[in-house]
Each structure stands twice: as C-alpha cells, then as structure tokens.
Amino acid sequence: MINRRLIAVPVLLALAVGAAAYWWYGRPTHEASNRLTLYGNVDVREVQLAFQVSGRIERMLVPAGTRVAAGQPVAELDSARFEDAVALAKARAESAAQHLAALEAGSRPAEVRRARAQVAAASAAADSTAANYKRLKGLARQQFVSPQALEDARAAADRAKAQLDANKETLALTLAGPRREEIAAARADLRAAQAQLALNQRDLSDAELTAPSAGVIRDRILEPGDMASPDRPAYTLALNDPLWVRAYVPETSLGRIHGGMMATVTTDSFPGKQYRGWIGYISPTAEFTPQTVETPEVRTDLVYEVRVYVCNPAGELRLGMPATVTVPTGPDARSIDSAEPQCEESPQ
C-alpha cells in the first residue's frame, strides 16, 4: 500500500511553488507602476533629391554613405546654358532700364531748341508766302498775273501755314515730354525684364543640388553625364535631424504620458548606455483596430503611435535600429517646456 504521506509532500511542494510564482509575477510592484516601457525603432525617413531644372550632370560630389549637412552641395549640372540665359536677361533688363530713364528725364534742351528753331523758320516761311499771295492777289485784280499763278501762291501760303501749325505742335510735345502712359508701360517692361532675370538666375542657382537638411546619403542613383530632371532623383537622403524613436503605447497606458515628458532610450547595440529623450508627439488616433469598437475586451488592444525625440551626440543611433524607451511616470517623472527637438537646450 502506497504511503499517503509520500504522495502529499510533492503535491504540497507544487502548490507552494505555484503560489510563490503567482505572488512574485502577479504582484503590482512599485517599480513597474512608476515607469512605462515602450518598444520601437529609430524612425527611417528618406527624401529623394532631384534637380529643379533639367540638364546634364557635370559632377556628383558625394558617394553613398556620406554624412551631409543642410545646404551642402552634392551635385552640379553643366551650367553654361544657364549662364548664357542670365547674361541675355541682364542685357534686356539694362536696356529696359535705360529706356525708362530716358522717358522719365523728358526732352533734352537741345531738342527743345531745335523745335523752337523749326517753329521760327516755319513762321517766317508762312509770313513770306502769305505776303506774296496778298501781293499777287492785288495784281490779279489788274490782270497782271494769271489765275493759275494766283492759285499757286494761295496754295503755297496754306502749306506754309500748316507747316507752322505742325511745328508748333511738335514744340508743345517736346516741352511736355513723354506721356504718363508711355512711362508706365516702360516701367512694366522693366519689371518684366527684371523678373525674367531673377528666373534665369534661379535656374542657374538650381543647377547646383544641395541637401535640404542634415542626413546620410543612402543611394547614389545618377552619375556624371546622365541627364537629370525634376522627376528623376539623383540621390536618396536618409534624414537624421531630428532623430526620433517610433514606438506604440497601449490604450490603457495612454493617460500616463503627455508631450514633453523626459525618457531614456536604450538599444541592444550599446548595452547599458542610455540616451536622453522626451516625448514629442502622441498620435490622436488609434491603430490596428477600428475607432468605433466599444467592447472593453477590444479597447484594451488599441495602441497609439508615439514619437520620442532622442539626442544622439556620438552618432551611434542608426535609422531602423530597435530601441527600448523607458518613461518615468511616478515621482521621478520630468518634463520640458517644449516637445520640439532641442537637444542642446534640454536639461541633462
């Protein structure tokens, strides 16, 4: 017969171990309640770098894997055509400027003197032809001149009078100078020429491709001699400024965090090393489940995207790297005034 005491001892031991495990793993520890642990990756953000104008590539300045700063030149087009266009636009703008200056200056003194002289000459001619017509008219009454001669004298007097009137009008226009409408049109022509010059200068500037922000050149797509255009990228740039970890927080823990809360970031690549960070963005919408679900069982599965800005002074964090984010939520919780990237100004 089996001894019941021998059976009872293992059973009691198993129950004791189970109870201890339940107590150890199921107890609400003070440490767990005062911090929130999230898991994610250093976010990968890329932009395609392309020229804003079309042309043949003359130089590709950086290879793949190069760190570049914002505004750093990375490629250049053959700029001869753009330089010629700028020179032509400059000449046209200068011509328009000189034309406007001439109109605004009005008539020159020499032009005025010439117009006055022409009026004086026409006046003398009109007086002479009028006197000749008057004299021939008296002789015609005595039939000393033919009717044709009298008619010719009258026509000459009329022409001289008309020429005098025309010269007087010319003098008046010379004294008045250009019309306001002509000056306004010349100003518009100058503005159009200047705008064309600015456009050509911008095209010349765009013949140099620069990095829009700091990052790492991931791919070098084109090479010198290739034809580039706005719809054909030359590089792929991975952005690393600002750097953030994309993680997800359960709906049940959403009320424990807010923008600006300080956090620490760790990675498997550098065990034991912590990187200072803070919560910069919390998504206003849930993911993975419909927003209209109302059952308590499913609501606990909702997660929200969180971006945790992280300082990376040594450049050790790489895009796509798995990371663990720890956010103190108890008495040790700290916040900064702004959730924007500010590694140099953030408190240590």
Average pLDDT over residues 143-170: 85
Angstrom CA distances, 8 to 3, 17, 63, 96, 176, stand at 9, 14, 74, 110, 127
Confidence band of 262 (pLDDT split at 50, 70, 90): very high
Domain identity same for 90 and 131: yes
Domain identity same for 62 and 118: no
Is there a domain that residue 213 lies in? yes
Domain identity same for 71 and 213: yes
Is there a domain that residue 64 lies in? yes
Q: In what order do the strands lie in the sheet with 227-228?
A: 208-210, 73-77, 55-60, 227-228
Domain identity same for 154 and 178: yes
Domain identity same for 194 and 96: yes
Number of domains observed in the structure of the chain:
2
User: Would the pLDDT of 27 be above 50?
Assistant: no
Domain identity same for 74 and 170: no
Is there a domain that residue 279 lies in? no
Is there a domain that residue 110 lies in? yes
Domain identity same for 92 and 227: no
Domain with 174, as residue range(s), is: 85-202
pTM comes to 0.62
Angstrom CA distances, 277 to 245, 263, 348, stand at 9, 5, 10
Average pLDDT over residues 281-289: 81
Judged by average pLDDT, the poorest of 124-133, 216-225, 266-275 is 124-133
User: Would the pLDDT of 181 be above 50?
Assistant: yes
pLDDT digits (tens, 9 = 90+) for 183-242: 899 999 999 999 999 999 999 999 999 999 888 899 999 999 999 999 999 999 988 778
Domain identity same for 186 and 222: no
CATH code of residue 215 = 2.40.50.100
Average pLDDT over residues 166-191: 84
Judged by average pLDDT, the poorest of 91-95, 124-128, 171-175 is 171-175
Give residue 113's Cα distance to chain centre. Answer: 56
